[in-house]
Structure 1
């Protein structure tokens, strides 16, 4: 019974993730989710209680895995680094690679999850609260590593640099196809392996330009 209940719960989460990513939180009903999952609506109420609880469960399910892998990767590069201070490129890679790798190879569920995160990040209604709740403890750990990698930088420049990095990630895993059109098909927004080769050195250069030159000049 417990195994069957967990299977049903995961089916509901999968359908909710897919539909929330396509239509947004307000564009989906519990009934539509349970119809997609081919389960009785009462089971969604039993497992989650409300649509908001289901939405939170969708976000938490993959956030826990993603945050665990990112933290393990950061700890690994710090343990291997001299004096425990990892390079800027390695820190950026530890933050971005698990995300891009899952979007590239993790299947349609991860694609839906990242599309949903892109929506949330760009939403005044959800962005600040939900991203703070699910990701800020991990982000603060990475920002501490960035401060050690750039010890002379002003704190405000570290935070702005992270902000720009986060925006680049959101645009990238949204896979809008815009770069496909701009390049006349020479590159593709879905080619996340190509992204991963280029993003760490590009973002690291931006961090250094802003943080190692004393910030912007008036």
Structure 2
């Protein structure tokens, strides 16, 4: 029953956000009385946090393993694009191959990333893997200013969240050439695009000489 409740809540929260859903809405989607939802989850906030936590460990663990494997494969000499691919492609694969439930989770993550409480949950669940990526980017660009690397990550995660939101806007703008749910098309382009941005923006710290390449 807990999984059914979480699935229903995930679907509704991904569509209407935390404040647009009630426990009664969740109960109706499951087909039970709302008191049963209250039995498992004392309030809506507790349910929302449980929905986020359920898949956060999966995606964080997968990306951490990919980053570790990439660093080992690179012989301690990572590239910007290689590090981004380990981080982004691994996550996009989960949403591409995990079915509608994972797509709902991605949309929910996009919604929550723009709220104060959501940002707190992001800190709690995703900081270690993000800082692991930042560490690899610093290895790849040892002369870059730290603030430029963090701004670069900020822009990367913004693009990822917009992608996971699946708003359909790019579908309409492109006249159907692009689809919001075409994660394979995103995967083929995003890391390369973002790597070029990092290289263009990142500047040597004072007192250092920018490395060639």
Please confirm whether the aligned pair reaches a TM-score higher than 0.5, indicating the same fold.
Answer: yes
TM-score for the superposition, normalised by structure 2: 0.90
Deviations 1:142-191 (A, max 9, x none): 11111111100000100100001111111111122222222222222221
What residue number does 2:102 align with? 110
Deviations 1:63-112 (A, max 9, x none): 11000100010111111112x23221121111111221122221111111
Q: Identify the range of structure 1 (40-49 vs 157-166) with the bigger mean alpha-carbon deviation.
A: 40-49
What residue number does 2:187 align with? 196
Q: In 2, are the aligned partners of 1:150 and 1:212 still within 8 Å (CA)?
A: no
In the alignment, structure 1 segments of 5+ residues that lack a partner are 1-7
Q: Aligned equivalents of 2:73 and 2:15: distance in 1?
A: 41
1:65-214 alignment runs, 5 A limit: 65-82=58-75, 84-123=76-115, 125-212=116-203
Partner of 1:126: helix, strand, or coil? Answer: helix
1:21-32 alignment runs, 5 A limit: 21-32=14-25
Q: Aligned equivalents of 1:180 and 1:53: distance in 2?
A: 35
Task: Flag the 1:188–1:214 CA change in 2: closer, same or farther, 3 A.
Answer: farther
- Give 1:138 deviation, angstroms: 1.6
In the alignment, structure 2 segments of 5+ residues that lack a partner are 207-213
RMSD between aligned alpha carbons? Answer: 1.7
Q: Aligned equivalents of 1:214 and 1:184: distance in 2?
A: 44
Q: In 1, are the aligned partners of 2:13 and 2:108 still within 8 Å (CA)?
A: yes
Q: Identify the range of structure 1 (154-163 vs 167-176) with the bigger mean alpha-carbon deviation.
A: 167-176
What residue number does 2:210 align with? none
What residue number does 1:56 align with? 49
Deviations 1:36-79 (A, max 9, x none): 11234333223222211111000001111000100010111111
- Give 1:214 deviation, angstroms: 6.5
Partner of 1:49: helix, strand, or coil? Answer: coil
Number of equivalences: 206
Partner of 1:180: helix, strand, or coil? Answer: helix
Q: In 1, are the aligned partners of 2:145 and 2:204 still within 8 Å (CA)?
A: no
- Give 1:11 deviation, angstroms: 0.1
In the alignment, structure 1 residue 15 sits paired with structure 2 residue 15? no
